[in-house]
Amino acid sequence: MVNVENLNVKFGENHVIHDVNFIVNQGEIIGLFGISGAGKTTIVRVLTCQIEKKHWTGNVKVTDLSPAKKTNHSLILTNIGYVPQLELLNLYFDLSPIDNVEVFTSTYGKNKKEAIKIAKSLFKILDLPEDTWNKRVKHMSGGEKKRLSMAIGLIHRPSVLFLDEPTTGVDASKRYDILTYLKKLNQTLNTTMFIITHDLESALICDKAAILREGKLLEFDTPQKLISSLPSKGLVARFTVEHLNEKLIDYIKKFSAIKTLLRVGNEEIEVLMDDFEENLPKLIQYMIDNNIKINSMSKDFASFRRYFQIRIQEEEEKEKKFKDSEGD
Amino acid sequence: MMRLKKKSLRLNFEKFSNEITNLKMSILRIVKQVKKEFRLLWADKFNIMLAIVMPPLIIVMLGFTMTDDSNQMQSIPCIVVSYDSNTFINENDLVESKLDHYAIPYLNAVNKSDLLDLVRFYNATEEIYAMEQARNALISGSIKVILSIPVAFTEMLEWGLPGLIDCILDASNILYIQQSLNAVYDSIKIFINDTNLTPQFEVHGFEEFTIPEGYSSSFNSSIVMALSFMVFGIAFVLSILVIVQEKPIARLLLTPLKRSEILTSKYIAYMLVLLLQVTLLVITSLSMGLYLAGSILDLFIALFIIGFSGLALGVFISSQSKTKTQANQLFLAAYLVIILLSGIFIPIENMPSFLQFFAYVLPLSHGDPMIRGIITKGQHVFGMHFFWLFIISLILIIISFVIFRRRKYEV
Ligand SMILES: Nc1ncnc2c1ncn2[C@@H]1O[C@H](COP(=O)(O)OP(=O)(O)OP(=O)(O)O)[C@@H](O)[C@H]1O
Ligand SMILES: [Mg+2]
């Protein structure tokens, strides 16, 4: 559905995307994760024909068409849908949802009656209350606007849908609703989806997660596989330690089996080890021997959030070492 | 007792110092906020500059345009037609006379006057169609006054009677009437000085431009003034926000829709609105009793092209404005300048030449004479003014397309 080979993006001297490769199949949900400035939006902008060819190189195909060719843009834009982060940029607030549907379907040259029928079925899937359909969009709630926005992105039955931060600015409970709706749409329509997000919880519905850092694609795989690539398949021990401080942490780190140690709260740490089951009792003994007071302890598999933190931290440490060795 | 008093004093003092601290905090917060406001204003440098610079600029322009000084005043172009050499037959004794030796001195007086610019002199005795040609010149606008020396001019003065000079004015624009009268009077004064004789003059409005019985001339003259800048102004103000205001354009561009299609459809939509508006204006004006010397179709087309230039300018401003405020400010500034230099309130001929240049570039200086010509003089719409309005609109539209094509949109 979407193929990206050796994608490089440069804005003048600013090399923003470095050698990115990935393949996306029909019906997959892809999460694009990365801290601010990683290049998520830039990649999507290449895929959606928003960046001039002079700024990028590589072999990119979206629904088997290359955005490099200007003559392909119309077709690509017909095959894809886009749900921007801000509803203000997406919806005509002074028009009704149905009118908005009309405005946008007309751009694809689609039949109006057909479009409204599709829209109504989408509205139903997304639980948009029927009494809002013909009232002005500006009177809708934030969550309703978001869902309307998603419906409009799908109005022309695109094979790929891009969503920019669909869950930001939505309160926690609604966030899961939105993710559920997206999954539902994905399953009923078999639409391929790209989700740009800071919300690591979104990985729940993603078939593949792409992790970007400073323009480089660090990982591209299913969240489960990524997590189980961690030491001991991602088993994590969590400790609450009394009077935790940096010195204590350095002390604990000295225990040789520890691969990664994360401070996750004021007095909380999480630890990843090789041969987890075998080393856990030894670690506990080590802490007791050194007068480190453990208030509580638990064992769990790492969440995607944890994985992401660990992976980024690892990359930062690698870079630091590289720089230090260069400095010598 | 003492202790209690002390305590309350201390309490009062505490309360007082508390309030002082509160006040201090409040002032501090306000100062910070004021600073923030200035930051925001500064972030919008262009707007604030425009707001500050524009009013004094307008006053400067008013100063330039409103000069009533006669030595700076442009002279009024005129034609003198003399019938004085024709044979005059006295009704009482049927004596014929052909005296005409005061015609030339008057002509010299006209020539001497700085307020009059003698374009041509016709001796009607030799040229039968003199008056015809003079009238044509008046209709075309190349002169503003016809001074006609009647057949008995010299005879009257010889006999000690006041000779009467006929003065035919272009009364279609009241701005010129007073000026023309001053000029004619100036020529008479010079003649009196030169010859010690006292002629008089009689003023006529050019009958072809005057309004027939049954029509209200004050209504006509105010409609003539108002129509052009109303049509222009409304089309202008309607279109200034058409691009800046529409946020979802960014999203529309992620559909197969082209930028040129977006802009073209805006022009079409607003042209339809304009069509409706012009139709309504023509209908109401006529039904309210406008006397229209020209044809309705000409008036309609003229109003449409004036509105169209307003629309083109509005879209142009919209296409290059970053915010709504900026568009509004530019609108106000542009509209004030355009009205000021339209020639409706101040004759363009009286402006300094660099302002004249601007005035002639701007659309309303062409809209006003065009409407005036059609309504009061029965002229046709297609001419220099129409052509210029068309060209200027076209240029604005082309620039708008270029700017809109480059405008940055990000979702
Ligand atoms: N048009 C441009 N010209 C120059 N630099 C750009 C341009 N667009 C993006 N960049 C740079 O590219 C880098 C990646 O930006 P991008 O918007 O893709 O990040 P992002 O991962 O989407 O971040 P965020 O999560 O904050 O949206 C940034 O350093 C940004 O400054
Ligand atoms: Mg982004």
Among candidate residues A191, A161, A162, the one with its CA nearest the CA of residue A42:
A162
- Identify all chain A residues contacting B247, using CB atoms and an 8 Å cutoff: 88-89
Closest listed ligand to the CA of B411: 2
Q: How far apart are CA A82 and CA B250, in angstroms?
A: 11
- Nearest CB to B248: which of A90, A109, A164? A90
Supply the pLDDT for residue B71: 44
Q: Which residue in this structure is represented by tokens 């998520």?
A: A40
- Nearest CB to B256: which of A74, A85, A90? A74
- Identify all chain A residues contacting B255, using CB atoms and an 8 Å cutoff: 77-78, 104, 107-108
For chain A, percent of residues with pLDDT exceeding 70: 99
Buried b (16+ CB within 10 A) or exposed e, B293-322: bbeeebbbbbbbbbbbbbbbbbbbbbbbbe
Hey, is the C-beta of A104 within 8 angstroms of any chain B C-beta?
yes
Q: What is the CA radius of gyration of chain B?
A: 32
Q: Note the pLDDT tens digit of each residue in A52-88.
A: 999 999 999 999 999 999 989 989 999 999 999 888 8
Supply the pLDDT for residue A262: 87
CA of A200 to the centre of ligand 1 (A): 20
Contact A78 B256 (CB under 8 A): yes
Hey, is the C-beta of A55 within 8 angstroms of any chain B C-beta?
no
Q: How far apart are CA A103 and CA A114, in angstroms?
A: 14
Pocket of ligand 1 (CB under 6 A): A 11, 14, 16, 34, 36-42
Supply the pLDDT for residue B226: 83
Q: Note the pLDDT tens digit of each residue in A177-235.
A: 889 989 999 999 999 999 999 889 888 899 999 999 999 999 999 999 999 998 888 89
- Assess whether pLDDT exceeds 70 at residue A257: yes
CA of B249 to the centre of ligand 1 (A): 21
Q: Structure tokens of A78? A: 């017909």
Q: Give the mutation target among A7, A9, A11, A52 for probing the ligand 1 site: most ligand atoms within 8 A of CB.
A: A11
Number of residue pairs across A and B with CB atoms under 8 Å?
43
CA of A33 to the centre of ligand 1 (A): 14
- Identify all chain A residues contacting B250, using CB atoms and an 8 Å cutoff: 84, 89
Phi then psi for A273, rounded to 5 degrees? -135, 155
Chain B residues touching chain A at CB-CB below 8 Å: 247-248, 250-252, 254-257, 410-411
Contact A82 B256 (CB under 8 A): no
Q: How far apart are CA B247 and CA A250, in angstroms?
A: 53
Q: Structure tokens of B284? A: 């109401």
Contact B411 A104 (CB under 8 A): no
- Nearest CB to A84: which of B251, B255, B256? B251
Q: Mean pLDDT for chain A?
A: 90
Closest-CA residue of chain A to B258 = A74
Supply the pLDDT for residue B4: 62
Q: Which residue in this structure is represented by tokens 């400035």?
A: A37
CA of A17 to the centre of ligand 1 (A): 9
Domains of chain A plus CATH, in order, are 2-221 (3.40.50.300), 227-327 (3.30.70.100)
Sign of CA dihedral A199, A200, A202, A206: positive
Q: What is the pLDDT along chain B (411 residues), one digit of tens a residue?
A: 556 666 677 778 888 888 888 888 778 878 777 777 777 777 767 766 776 676 667 667 656 765 554 445 678 899 999 998 888 887 777 777 888 888 899 999 999 998 899 999 999 888 889 999 998 898 888 898 999 998 888 888 888 888 888 899 887 777 778 888 888 888 988 998 888 888 777 777 776 667 777 777 777 877 888 888 888 988 898 889 889 888 889 999 998 888 888 898 889 889 988 998 899 889 888 888 888 989 999 999 999 999 999 999 999 999 999 999 899 999 999 998 998 888 887 788 878 888 888 899 999 999 988 998 999 888 899 999 999 999 999 999 999 999 999 998 887
Contact residues for B288 (Cβ-Cβ < 8 A; gap 6+) = B219, B223
Atom of ligand 1 nearest to the CA of A32: 21
Task: Find out whether B314 and B236 touch, Cβ atoms under 8 Å.
Answer: yes
For chain B, the straight-line distance linking the first and the last C-alpha, in angstroms and rounded, comes to 75
**Sheet of B164-169, strands arranged across:** B116-123, B76-82, B145-149, B164-169, B200-205
- Identify all chain B residues contacting A77, using CB atoms and an 8 Å cutoff: 254-256
- Identify all chain B residues contacting A83, using CB atoms and an 8 Å cutoff: none
Q: Give the mutation target among A42, A44, A48 for probing the ligand 1 site: most ligand atoms within 8 A of CB.
A: A42
| Residue nearest ligand 1's atom 1 by CA | A11
Supply the pLDDT for residue B13: 83
Judged on CB neighbours under 10 Å (0-12, 13-18, 19+), B243 is buried
Atom of ligand 1 nearest to the CA of A45: 18
Contact B247 A104 (CB under 8 A): no
Q: Give the mutation target among A40, A46, A52, A86 for probing the ligand 1 site: most ligand atoms within 8 A of CB.
A: A40
Q: How far apart are CA B73 and CA A291, in angstroms?
A: 103
Supply the pLDDT for residue B206: 72
Closest listed ligand to the CA of A37: 1
Contact A77 B250 (CB under 8 A): no
Q: Which residues sit opposite A167 in a β-bridge?
A: none
If pLDDT is split at 50, 70 and 90, which confidence band does A164 have?
very high
- Identify all chain A residues contacting B257, using CB atoms and an 8 Å cutoff: 107
Categorise residue A158: left if φ over 0, alpha if ψ from -120 to 50, beta otherwise: beta
CA of A40 to the centre of ligand 1 (A): 8
Min distance A91 CA to chain B CA atoms (Å)? 6
- Assess whether pLDDT exceeds 90 at residue A291: no
Q: Note the pLDDT tens digit of each residue in A9-20.
A: 999 999 999 999
Closest-CA residue of chain A to B411 = A84
Mean pLDDT score, A121-133: 91
Contact residues for A276 (Cβ-Cβ < 8 A; gap 6+) = A231, A232, A235, A237
- Nearest CB to A77: which of B250, B254, B410? B254
Contact A108 B252 (CB under 8 A): no
Q: Note the pLDDT tens digit of each residue in A21-61.
A: 999 999 999 999 998 899 999 999 999 999 999 999 999 99
Would the pTM count as exceeding 0.90?
no
Closest-CA residue of chain B to A109 = B256
Hey, is the C-beta of A90 within 8 angstroms of any chain B C-beta?
yes
Closest-CA residue of chain B to A101 = B252
- Assess whether pLDDT exceeds 60 at residue A169: yes
- Identify all chain B residues contacting A108, using CB atoms and an 8 Å cutoff: 255-256
